[in-house]
């Protein structure tokens, strides 16, 4: 196993024996920039590929001489900030995602830049995850929540889909027919690799949960609230049933009316919003209920009134 330290550690690379847990070789690489990610070559344990903010490095481990040296990939006049990397099965080419919204193909045998892809396309908020299919096609995830398959021959987009949240990770099944994809909004998707048909499998809030309530005398569902939304869940299988979103606001508290005909939310803009529990559509809004946000709600048993509190 290889581990790399940051700038304070002089980008030291340490090789560990996983059976004994002891370090067998280590040396500072002397990088000016912190190495963000590194990956072993597939056919040798004496070479790694690493990316910094603006460079791609091949790390060569000379076990017999107990030395470690680096060789930079020649990028010419091309300047990029790198985010992720992948190496093909034959260790001939590597693909490195960038904050610009494209990825670079580099020749590992000659240590030079070869191509940039996709052709005439940039992904907003950068390429955040990248992987290769057995036929060589490239699967790319972006910070804006787009997932695309790119032809290795033409560097043209073949298929594209969208998910909720920026893509943070991708993991393929053993036969490469499907893959799990995670996003920075805490969503997990199950995606078919051929045409990128996506199915939302699991989800949760991506920020703090401010309140959780059950409906009156009913325990099969419950509601939670957080930044941007209220969510209603199936208590038995823990799956999300409904998401009520109000962008750029935070819901501090949530309540069900006792008759189950509405869901109430207290928000940081001082408003109380009522929603239909089946569709999530807005029923009504009480404007200027409080100045500094509504932090607690309580409903009467006959559903004719409710009380609310705010910050002092």
DSSP 171-225: EE-TTSSEEEEEETTSEEEEEETTT--EEEEEE--SS---EEE--TT--SEEEEE
**What are the extents of the domains in the chain?**
2-203, 211-310
Sign of the torsion formed by the C-alpha atoms of 179, 180, 182 and 188? positive
For residue 81, the SS3 value is coil
- Cα-flanking dihedrals φ and ψ of residue 90, to 5°? -95, 5
Cite the DSSP H helix spans in 94-175: none
- Confidence bin at 87 (pLDDT 50/70/90): very high
> Token pair 């298929």 is at which residue?
159
State the pLDDT at residue 302: 78
Same fold, 2-203 and 211-310: no
In angstroms and rounded to an integer, the radius of gyration of the C-alpha atoms of the chain is 25
**What is the bridge-based pairing of β-strands 221-225 and 178-183?**
unpaired
Average pLDDT over residues 231-250: 94
Mean pLDDT over 246-260 rounds to 94
Residue 309 pLDDT grade (very low, low, confident, very high; cuts 50, 70, 90): low
pTM as predicted: 0.83
Q: What's the CATH code, domain 211-310?
A: 2.40.128.630
Q: Does domain 2-203 have CATH number 3.90.550.10?
A: no
Whole-angstrom Cα distance, residue 63 to residue 290? 68
Mean local confidence (pLDDT), 178-204: 95
* pLDDT in the model for residue 312: 42
């Amino acid at each position: 196993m290889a581990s790399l330290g940051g700038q304070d550690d002089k980008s030291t690379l340490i090789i560990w024996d996983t059976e004994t847990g002891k370090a067998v070789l280590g040396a500072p690489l002397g990088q000016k920039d912190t190495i963000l990610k590194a990956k072993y070559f597939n056919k040798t344990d004496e070479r790694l590929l690493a990316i910094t903010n603006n460079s791609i490095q091949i790390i060569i481990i000379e076990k017999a001489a107990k030395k470690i040296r680096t060789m930079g990939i020649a990028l010419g006049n091309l300047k990029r900030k790198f985010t992720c990397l992948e190496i093909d099965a034959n260790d001939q080419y590597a693909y490195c995602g960038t904050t610009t919204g494209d990825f670079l193909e580099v020749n590992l045998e000659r240590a030079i830049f070869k191509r940039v892809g996709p052709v005439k396309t940039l992904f907003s908020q950068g390429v955040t995850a990248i992987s290769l299919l057995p036929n060589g096609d490239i699967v790319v995830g972006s910070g804006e929540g787009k997932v695309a398959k790119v032809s290795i021959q033409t560097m043209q987009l073949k298929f594209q889909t969208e998910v909720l949240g920026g893509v943070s990770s991708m993991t393929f099944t053993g036969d490469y027919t499907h893959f799990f994809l995670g996003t920075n909004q805490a969503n997990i998707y199950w995606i078919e690799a051929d045409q990128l048909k996506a199915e939302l499998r699991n989800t949760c809030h991506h920020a703090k949960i401010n309140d959780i309530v059950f409906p009156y005398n009913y325990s099969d569902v419950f509601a939670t609230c957080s930044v941007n939304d209220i969510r209603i869940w199936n208590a038995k299988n823990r799956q999300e049933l409904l998401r009520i979103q109000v962008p750029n606001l935070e819901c501090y508290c949530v309540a069900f009316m006792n008759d189950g005909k509405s869901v109430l939310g207290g928000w940081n803009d001082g408003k109380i919003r009522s929603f239909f529990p089946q569709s999530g559509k807005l029923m009504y809004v009480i404007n200027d209920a409080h100045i500094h946000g509504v932090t607690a709600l309580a409903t009467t048993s006959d559903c004719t009134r409710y009380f609310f509190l705010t910050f002092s």
